[in-house]
Amino acid sequence: MIVEVIAVGTELLLGQIINSNAAVIGARLADEGFDAHFQVTVGDNLERLTGVIRTAVERADAVILTGGIGPTQDDLTREALSAVTGRPIVRDAEHAESIRERLTRIRGYVAESTLRMADHPQGAETMPNRNGVALGIAMEHRGVWLFAMPGVPAEMTAMLDEQVLPRLRIASGEPAILRSRVLRTWGQGESQIAEALDDLYTSTNPSVAFLVSGAEVRVRISAKARDTSAAETMIAKVDDEVVRRLGPAVFGRDDDTVEAIVVRELADRGWRIGTVEASTLGAVAATLAAADPDRGAFAGGITVPSIAVDDNTDLAARATGLLQRGRSTLDSEVLVVVSEARGDQVGPRSTQTLVVAVATPEGTRTRVVGLLGDRARVREYAHDTALHLVRLAVTGSWWSD
Amino acid sequence: MIVEVIAVGTELLLGQIINSNAAVIGARLADEGFDAHFQVTVGDNLERLTGVIRTAVERADAVILTGGIGPTQDDLTREALSAVTGRPIVRDAEHAESIRERLTRIRGYVAESTLRMADHPQGAETMPNRNGVALGIAMEHRGVWLFAMPGVPAEMTAMLDEQVLPRLRIASGEPAILRSRVLRTWGQGESQIAEALDDLYTSTNPSVAFLVSGAEVRVRISAKARDTSAAETMIAKVDDEVVRRLGPAVFGRDDDTVEAIVVRELADRGWRIGTVEASTLGAVAATLAAADPDRGAFAGGITVPSIAVDDNTDLAARATGLLQRGRSTLDSEVLVVVSEARGDQVGPRSTQTLVVAVATPEGTRTRVVGLLGDRARVREYAHDTALHLVRLAVTGSWWSD
């Protein structure tokens, strides 16, 4: 099934907004196995918009439009769909009334033009907008599906996942429901994980894919089924199998973050954490502080200039010195130290040796890691590594060195 | 003059890359007063690429392509231009030889296919690629200009500014050279600056525009002229006038950053700076550390959890307490403290009261600022404000409170 994406809005042509919607839709279509040949961006101009929809109808099996369904006079997607399909614009009286009530309640008034967001070509289905007011539109014309969605990314994404993609799946003879779960892993390399899950990648439903993000490898399991519970059952089976093979490398699912886990584990033990960072520029402290708005597990952090390091040989001594510095300044049961070896900082892309030390009431652990990559990537990797080593030290699961 | 932008690459359709090139080109075209009606993205497919170029030639005065001019077999923009214009592909022998020499020197070998980057349709001009290997292509066909540029953003942007836009200006009867300078200001609001420069905005050449970025207001002066020195002279005249009106609010130009100025001013005085941050999560320390890889002006920073603040009334006492904490831990002549009042942290969008204190060997200054906006915006604003107050305190130009 060939799907064409049309982004509507003069602000896109003027470069005032980057067309991230096109990338999101493109990635979702690719995940589902639909083909995309063209993406077109067009301004708020009825004639040109009508033209690009006509062209898309000639060469695609489905057309996804984003933008141009808001309340203002330059929102012209409804009119263009009406012109292409020859169906007059009608108003959904019930939705118009609900817009009137809702906006009057929130703002105290409603402009008459706002009610245009309840308009659609006669005979079209409307699609609910969970994060906004404008209704989406779904209609068939000469055997081609036409979908109109809002341009606001949060509104668009929800409508794409919940309304458009299920309809496309049904139109292409697939089960309507796709569910995904991400298993977050740390501590095994990309190639180790790929090898351990080798045979699982060949399955198409449920499908297994992986993605490297900082120091984490994420395993995504996706299942298509007739209903959500059948899809969840299929996912759970693969989830169990992945955990059986990867063991404690799997530390969380979906939105679980290592920093949220660390804060929770600290709070459960009544411990507080302090940080001393010489290579991550305070990023570990910033992450912990942001993840802990009210549990009081973050005691404070120290950022030390890298230039203060005079030798790069005795990393253990360096870590011990920084731990002592943290102890004398920060009032916490747990301390984490991140430092690189100074001499390694050569060139934009180079090897860096990193030392991470974590002290808890149960003892102090130190690990030395070699990293390769540009400065930003090394910093992200060091940040993730430090948080994971804290997680292992706090939960008592640091493996033997 | 109507200009159509075509982005070439299957990775764009698959959403693996966000099409930021289209936004950059769109913004540049808008700045110059050219019209854009359509932007099209197409995959690495000769027939479809040829088709979209043909369509663009029918409806635009100039067509800008990005992507598809690299060395691999799926780089098809050259072939598509050849098909559209009916001109055979020829090789620029001199450039082919220079590619061969250069890559052999760097990598020790050169694949024969790499030499395709010296190919172009017969009779086309080639455009130099300052940041890469593939030559750009400029050619006229049926009165329409066709430009092919690389897809790599750094290569594309330089070629756009240095090669494509000058040709478009000449084609539309404008002077070929456009130069811009950004005056960076801090300390006056957007509306104050707009008012002070009111009459300058009406000029079209040189033109004056402004842009808010964090706590800075940036004034951009652009001039079109026959050559660079004439453009620079036009800019310098407006620069003088803006400085005459805005005074010391203008702190730098183009790539001057407040952190680079702070580090330089500190190093000139032989001072070092320490930070104590309770609301910016160590961002001020991270910026100073990154701006100071080797001058030793950054002595270290402390990140304090916001939750440690127990009252929000006596901000001066709070600042003094944090200064003392910094003094007892950090070895520096200058200290900056950033803290918010805790009680202000209500809701995602709220007023925040911020206190910034700067201690130098010449005394201590404190300022209380009220900020409005979401958390991220407030943090960015607080970060910028703190750095500017350090600049004023260090240079002895802090105005009277």
Share of chain A above pLDDT 70, in %: 95
Between CA A334 and CA A356 the distance in angstroms is 13
Among A156, A173, A7, CA closest to A77 = A7
CB atoms A307 and B293 under 8 Å: yes
Share of chain B above pLDDT 90, in %: 66
End-to-end CA distance of chain A: 53
CB atoms A15 and B37 under 8 Å: no
Residue A352: pLDDT above 80? Answer: no
Q: What backbone phi and psi angles, to 5 degrees, belong to A25?
A: -65, -40
Closest-CA distance, A21 to chain B, in angstroms, reads 9
Which of the pair, A294 or A286, is modelled with greater confidence? Answer: A286
Among B78, B79, B56, B72, CA closest to B6 = B56
- Mean pLDDT of the region A36-56: 97
Chain A residues with CB inside 8 Å of B27's CB?
A: 14-16
CA-CA distances (angstroms) from residue A78 to A33, A69, A90, A96, A158? 28, 7, 10, 15, 20
A294 vs B15, B52, B307: nearest CB: B307
Between CA B196 and CA B176 the distance in angstroms is 31
Helix axis angle, A46-59 relative to A77-85, nearest 10°? Answer: 50
Find residues 308-337 of chain B whose CB sits inside 8 Å of chain A: 308, 329
ipTM over 0.85: no
Between CA B285 and CA B277 the distance in angstroms is 8
Q: Are strands B273-277 and B334-340 parallel, antiparallel or unpaired?
A: parallel
pLDDT digits (tens, 9 = 90+) for A109-132: 888 888 999 999 999 999 999 998
Closest-CA distance, A281 to chain B, in angstroms, reads 5
- Structural domains of chain B in order of their starting residue, each with its CATH number: 3-171 (3.40.980.10), 177-253 (3.30.70.2860), 258-394 (3.90.950.20)
- Mean pLDDT of the region B54-78: 95
A18 vs B20, B30, B282: nearest CB: B20
CA-nearest residue to A36 within chain B is B13
Instruction: For chains A and B, count residue pairs whose Cβ atoms are closer than 8 Å.
Output: 174
Mutate which of B58, B59, B303, B342 to disrupt the A interface (most A C-beta within 10 Å)?
B303
CB atoms B19 and A16 under 8 Å: no
B13 vs A26, A290, A302: nearest CB: A26
Least confidently predicted of A7-21, B43-57, B103-117, B381-395: B103-117
SS3 B363: strand
DSSP B221-239: EEEEESSHHHHHHHHHHHH
A22 vs B41, B281, B298: nearest CB: B41
Between CA A283 and CA A280 the distance in angstroms is 6
Closest-CA distance, B157 to chain A, in angstroms, reads 14
Residue B100: pLDDT above 70? Answer: yes
CA-nearest residue to B295 within chain A is A307
Residue A191: pLDDT above 90? Answer: no
- Mean pLDDT of the region B114-120: 92
**Is A41 at the interface with chain B, CB within 8 A?**
yes
Radius of gyration of chain A (CA): 27
Question: A251: which 2 tokens?
Answer: 């530390």
pLDDT digits (tens, 9 = 90+) for A260-284: 999 999 999 999 999 999 888 899 9
- Specify the pLDDT at position B308: 47
Residue B352: pLDDT above 90? Answer: no
Chain A residues with CB inside 8 Å of B17's CB?
A: 23
SS3 B109: coil
CB atoms A19 and B14 under 8 Å: no
Confidence bin at A351 (pLDDT 50/70/90): low
CB atoms B286 and A307 under 8 Å: no
Share of chain A above pLDDT 90, in %: 66
Q: In degrees, to the nearest 5, what angle opens at C-alpha B295 toward C-alphas B292 and B301? A: 50
Helix or strand (DSSP H, E) at B63: strand B62-66
Residue B399: pLDDT above 70? Answer: no
Mutate which of A277, A281, A310, A339 to disrupt the B interface (most B C-beta within 10 Å)?
A281
pLDDT digits (tens, 9 = 90+) for B1-42: 999 999 999 999 999 899 999 999 999 999 888 999 999 999
Q: What backbone phi and psi angles, to 5 degrees, belong to A338?
A: -125, 125
Q: What backbone phi and psi angles, to 5 degrees, belong to B390?
A: -60, -45
Among B145, B106, B102, B44, CA closest to B117 = B102
Find residues 94-133 of chain B whose CB sits inside 8 Å of chain A: none
Chain B residues with CB inside 8 Å of A38's CB?
A: 13, 40-42, 48, 52
Q: In degrees, to the nearest 5, what angle opens at C-alpha A278 toward C-alphas A274 and A282? A: 55
CA A226 to chain centre: 25
Which of the pair, B210 or A38, is modelled with greater confidence? Answer: A38
**Is B175 at the interface with chain A, CB within 8 A?**
no
Question: B231: which 2 tokens?
Answer: 């453009």
- Mean pLDDT of the region B360-384: 85
DSSP B281-340: TTHHHHHHHHH-SSS--EEEEEE--GGG---SS-HHHHHHHHHHHHHHH---SEEEEEEE
**Is A376 at the interface with chain B, CB within 8 A?**
no
pLDDT digits (tens, 9 = 90+) for B208-256: 988 888 889 999 999 999 899 999 999 999 999 999 999 989 999 999 9
- Mean pLDDT of the region B373-380: 79
SS3 B181: strand
pLDDT digits (tens, 9 = 90+) for A290-344: 998 777 899 999 998 864 455 555 777 888 888 998 998 899 999 999 987 655 5
Asked whether A117 and A99 are in contact (CB, 8 A), the reply is: yes
- B221-225 long-range CB contacts below 8 Å, 24 or more apart? B221/B180, B221/B181, B221/B182, B221/B183, B222/B31, B222/B178, B222/B179, B222/B180, B223/B178, B223/B179, B223/B180, B224/B169, B224/B174, B224/B175, B224/B177, B224/B178, B225/B175, B225/B177, B225/B179
Between CA A250 and CA A245 the distance in angstroms is 10
The residues facing B64 across adjacent strands are: B5, B147
Question: B71: which 2 tokens?
Answer: 């060395």
CB atoms A38 and B41 under 8 Å: yes
CA-CA distances (angstroms) from residue A132 to A72, A102, A148, B347? 15, 11, 14, 20
Between CA A334 and CA A331 the distance in angstroms is 9
Confidence bin at A221 (pLDDT 50/70/90): very high
Between CA A64 and CA A24 the distance in angstroms is 12
- Specify the pLDDT at position B213: 84
Find residues 275-294 of chain B whose CB sits inside 8 Å of chain A: 275, 281-283, 285-286, 289-290, 292-294
| Confidence (pTM) | 0.80
Chain B residues with CB inside 8 Å of A23's CB?
A: 12, 15-19
Confidence bin at A149 (pLDDT 50/70/90): very high
Residue A237: pLDDT above 90? Answer: yes
Asked whether A176 and A226 are in contact (CB, 8 A), the reply is: yes
List CB contacts of B247: < 8 A, sequence separation 6 or more. Answer: none
**Is A388 at the interface with chain B, CB within 8 A?**
no
- Specify the pLDDT at position B319: 86
Asked whether B9 and B44 are in contact (CB, 8 A), the reply is: yes
Between CA A291 and CA B152 the distance in angstroms is 36
Closest-CA distance, A399 to chain B, in angstroms, reads 30
Which of the pair, B257 or B311, is modelled with greater confidence? Answer: B257
- Specify the pLDDT at position B313: 58
CA-nearest residue to B38 within chain A is A42
HEC states along chain A?
CEEEEEEECHHHHCCCCCCHHHHHHHHHHHHHCCECCEEEEECCCHHHHHHHHHHHHHHCCEEEEECCCCCCCCCCHHHHHHHHHCCCEEECHHHHHHHHHHHHHHHCCCCHHHHHHHEEECCCEEECCCCCCCCEEEEEECCEEEEEECCCHHHHHHHHHHHHHHHHHHHCCCCCEEEEEEEEEECCCHHHHHHHCHHHHHCECCEEEEEEECCEEEEEEEEEECCHHHHHHHHHHHHHHHHHHHHHHEEEECCCCHHHHHHHHHHHHCCCEEEEECCCCCHHHHHHHHHCCCCCCEEEEEECCHHHCCCCCCHHHHHHHHHHHHHHHCCCCEEEEEEECHHHCCCCEEEEEEEEEEEECCEEEEEEEEEEEEHHHHHHHHHHHHHHHHHHHHCCCCCCC
CA-CA distances (angstroms) from residue A382 to A215, A223, A354, A355, B357? 8, 34, 7, 9, 32
CA-nearest residue to B286 within chain A is A281
Between CA A22 and CA A19 the distance in angstroms is 6
- Mean pLDDT of the region A50-66: 98
Radius of gyration of chain B (CA): 27
Question: B48: which 2 tokens?
Answer: 């479809």
